Amino acid sequence: MIQKLGAVAALMLSGAHGLTGKRGLCYNNDNPSKDAVFANLYKGMDKVTWAYDWGYPSWGLDSSLEFVPMLWGLPSDNGSGWKAAANAPGVVNVLGFNEPDLTYSASSNIPPEKAAKGWLNYIQPLAGGSVRIGAPNVLWNNVDSSSGGDYDTAQWTEYFLAACTGCHFDFAAIHYYQDCVTPDGQNGAVWFKGNVTDAHEVLDLPIWVTEFECYGDEAQQIAFLEEALPWLDEQDYVERYAYFGTFPEYLINKDGTALSALGQAYATI
């Protein structure tokens, strides 16, 4: 009952800006049924309210979770599939390119000017409509070479924003990956909090942390979340976050049948 009241209160509070809650999931359909079965294990866990899968469609995401479509990179077709996904009933937020600032195989790796051009074609037309638009998902604590240039992610973002003339963003989207424990033995959440705060100060937009993970064993990751999640919940400018990731040996157990201890912690902290 208390949980139910909590969910209703959260819904009423969030109604003003179209957000249902902060905690979400990044999931994939890499399972025998090729669907959202991993994410759907969170059904009924009131603190988890939204999910995305680095693309569209949602592969049967439970309707109790808000699906947020993402345009991962420049579309290989004419963009009609993306347009339909972004305008689908129930869609109120959309995410843009995934790690265009990076050059490894799972990143979209797009130089800033090219990314801006694609943005103007495929995402900016949604501005002024019924969906809120997230800026490109970039690895904020990256200080090495970035897509198409020898500069860091903050610079990639600066060049992208300068080239994206008239583009409208409702929120920024960042990623963060680092050790759970700093070399001097502190909880790595101290670095994480520093990076999230810095992104907000530099970009001056509400923040979604669309991927974050600390490297360490399960107990260390839980200790990190125990410090990071209450802090994220307290910051007004942090609208949403999703810990990496909703698949086996991360938030889901090895067999893919239930939440792992880490996944339970993510649902309940």
Ligand X SMILES: *[C@@H]1O[C@H](CO)[C@@H](O)[C@H](O)[C@H]1NC(C)=O
Among 33, 76, 80, 105, binds ligand X (CB under 6 A): 80
**Which residues in 223-242 contact ligand X (CB under 6 A)?**
none
Q: Tell me how far apart the alpha carbons of residues 149 and 136 are, in angstroms, rounded to a whole number.
A: 17
Q: What's the distance, CA 92 to chain centroid?
A: 15
Q: How far is the CB of 21 from ligand X (least distance, A)?
A: 26
Closer residue to ligand X in complex, CB, 20/141: 141
Q: Tell me how far apart the alpha carbons of residues 213 and 245 are, in angstroms, rounded to a whole number.
A: 8
Please tell me whether residue 187 adopts helix, strand or coil conformation. strand
198 binds ligand X (CB under 6 A): yes
Q: Count residues contacting ligand X (CB under 6 A)?
A: 9
Helix axis angle, 189-203 to 218-234, nearest 10° = 40
Among 195, 210, 221, 246, binds ligand X (CB under 6 A): 195
Q: How far is the CB of 66 from ligand X (least distance, A)?
A: 27
Q: How far is the CB of 78 from ligand X (least distance, A)?
A: 4
Partners of 241 in beta bridges: 23, 209
Site string for ligand X, 16-55 (x = CB under 6 A): ----------------------------------------
Residues in the chain: 269
141 binds ligand X (CB under 6 A): yes
Encoded amino acid at 207, one letter = I
φ, ψ dihedrals at 116, nearest 5°: -65, -40
Q: In the numeric block, which tokens belong to residue 71?
A: 């345009």
**Which residues in 108-137 contact ligand X (CB under 6 A)?**
none
Residues that bind ligand X (CB under 6 A): 77-78, 80, 141, 178, 191, 194-195, 198
